[in-house]
Chains A and B, each alone.
Chain A
Amino acid sequence: SQTIHQWPATLVQPVGSPLSLECTVEGTSNPNLYWYRQAAGRGLQLLFYSVGIGQISSEVPQNLSASRPQDRQFILSSKKLLLSDSGFYLCACRTGSPLHFGNGTRLTVT
């Protein structure tokens, strides 16, 4: 079965600093990969999804970007964090089955 690795689990960053969150998947190939964000007390917001290497679809215009340099690697980045970027970031994977999530990264921008 597939395993999704996300790190770090918790991150505190100052406003204006860069961000890089990495997600890797094991146990499957050619997955659809997703980045979601969940702000405190709110629902899951789809940020990016990818159906293959180098293929990224953006759902929400913002200061975040995503890349998929390898089949099972998905990276979320920002050049300059905003306070509103705080939240719970979840990487998810889907290969013909329901979505499975990584453990998430809780980001606090101060």
Chain B
Amino acid sequence: RKEVEQDPGPFNVPEGATVAFNCTYSNSASQSFFWYRQDCRKEPKLLMSVYSSGNEDGRFTAQLNRASQYISLLIRDSKLSDSATYLCVAYGGATNKLIFGTGTLLAVQP
């Protein structure tokens, strides 16, 4: 089983739609979680950290469910510019490693 799993998609949604991505992690000792965005042929860039109480940044909302070991990202009012691959990341335990999921591809269409 992969340490961090995501649905690869693609998620094809119209502009203005709300879309949600889920990500599960297997290491219960994971301490921190993040969502990154990666545009085609570019490096990943931090989108937002995920806090236990849930957090929001504009149209983006991230949530963490430790009991079920998953995190989610909700994007409201999708824009064409939101089209990208969204990577879920877990950091945990005794190592200094961040483990990335394989990413979920989002394609927002006009």
Binding site for B on A (CB under 8 A): 32, 34, 36, 42-44, 46, 49, 51, 59, 88, 90, 94, 98-104, 106
Cβ of A36: which chain B residues have Cβ within 8 Å of it? 100
At the interface, yes or no: B46 with Cβ under 8 Å from chain A? yes
Interface residues in B39-57 by Cβ distance below 8 A to A read 41-46, 49
At the interface, yes or no: B86 with Cβ under 8 Å from chain A? no
Centre residue among B32, B45, B103 by max chain A CB count within 10 A: B103
Cβ of B49: which chain A residues have Cβ within 8 Å of it? 98
Q: In this complex, what residue of B is CB-closest to A4? A: B43
Q: In the docked arrangement, what's the CA distance between A40 and B61, Å? A: 29
Q: A44-B87, A106-B41 are in contact. Are A98 and B46 (CB under 8 A)?
A: yes
At the interface, yes or no: B74 with Cβ under 8 Å from chain A? no
Docked-complex contact A43 and B100, CB < 8 angstroms: yes
Taking residues whose C-beta sits less than 8 angstroms from the other chain, chain B's interface range is: 10 to 19
Q: A43-B102, A51-B96 are in contact. Are A102 and B41 (CB under 8 A)?
A: no
Smallest beta-carbon distance B62→chain A, Å: 13
Docked-complex contact B103 and A98, CB < 8 angstroms: no
Q: In this complex, what residue of B is CB-closest to A51? A: B96
Given contact pairs A32-B96, A101-B44, a sample of 5 additional A-B residue pairs in the complex whose CB atoms are under 8 Å apart: A42-B102, A43-B101, A46-B98, A49-B97, A106-B41
18 CB contacts below 8 A, A to B, read: A32-B96, A36-B100, A43-B87, A44-B44, A44-B87, A46-B99, A49-B97, A88-B41, A90-B43, A94-B98, A98-B32, A98-B46, A99-B34, A99-B98, A102-B43, A103-B43, A104-B42, A104-B43
At the interface, yes or no: B89 with Cβ under 8 Å from chain A? yes
Smallest beta-carbon distance A68→chain B, Å: 14
